[in-house]
Amino acid sequence: RLATLLERAGMSDGAVALMPRGLDADYVEAGENLGRVRRPLPVAKALDDVLVAYEMNGRPLPPDHGHPARLVVPGWVGAASIKWLGDIEVSAEPLESPWSTRLYRMHGPGHPPGGGPPLTRMGVKSAFELPWPARFEAGREHLLRGRSWSGHGRVVRVEVSDDEGVSWRPARLRDDRHPRGWVRWTFPWTPREAGNLRLLARAADETGAVQPDRAAYNLLGYRFDAVVRHPVVVT
């Protein structure tokens, strides 16, 4: 737990913000050097459920996942889970970086000038565990698998559609439905005839949030949570 490390480091009660920083090379955008990747994190979140991960599946963390250590910030956008963690600044004042003032904000029509607030929690999302496109034989049952997750709490329902959302049928949820992790699900499906179609999956979490048909538009495509239309070829 990050909270354990901060306690051992002697963090005072006056701390309000942290700035985790990675060891990767400086990030240069349009000729401007923004420095190493870093993003502020409120102390309340840091002390709640954030982890410093140094192993994955019982083995040392692979380099592409952030070896030797990375943050894991449950429920928040991936940019908060700093890879190749090198140092953490602790401050009694609010902190900012380009990754909170310019990047990872919603820009464009319908959003404030300069962008919306820094992105934190993710919406509800789902994905099939299938090739793109996937191929199936008509007239026999196939067991579809997928995963759903939410930044706001436990996933309580997943539905699947094979007719562009005209009708939905419930998938079977597996696992213990941890509020900070994904839930795996299965769905028995028998395609009736050959052709090209799309499979849809949508989830709902314990707060009542449901995946929308379309994601809120923004120039950089952040926070995509719409129902994905997964192409399928039936033969």
> Which CATH number fits the domain that encloses residue 149?
2.60.40.650
Average pLDDT over residues 162-180: 91
Q: From CA 80, how far away is CA 61, in angstroms rounded?
A: 18
Closest CA to 135 of 195, 215, 73: 195
Q: From CA 178, how far away is CA 170, in angstroms rounded?
A: 19
Residues 117-144: tens digit of each pLDDT = 999 999 999 999 999 999 999 999 999 9
Provide the pLDDT confidence category of residue 176 given band limits of 50, 70 and 90. Answer: confident
Report if pTM > 0.95.
Answer: no
Residue 154: give the domain boundaries: 124-234
Say if 114 falls within a structural domain.
Answer: no
Per-residue pLDDT at 181 exceeds 90: no
The β-bridge relationship of strands 41-42 and 142-150 is: unpaired
Say if 212 falls within a structural domain.
Answer: yes
Among 44, 67, 101, which residue terminates a domain?
101
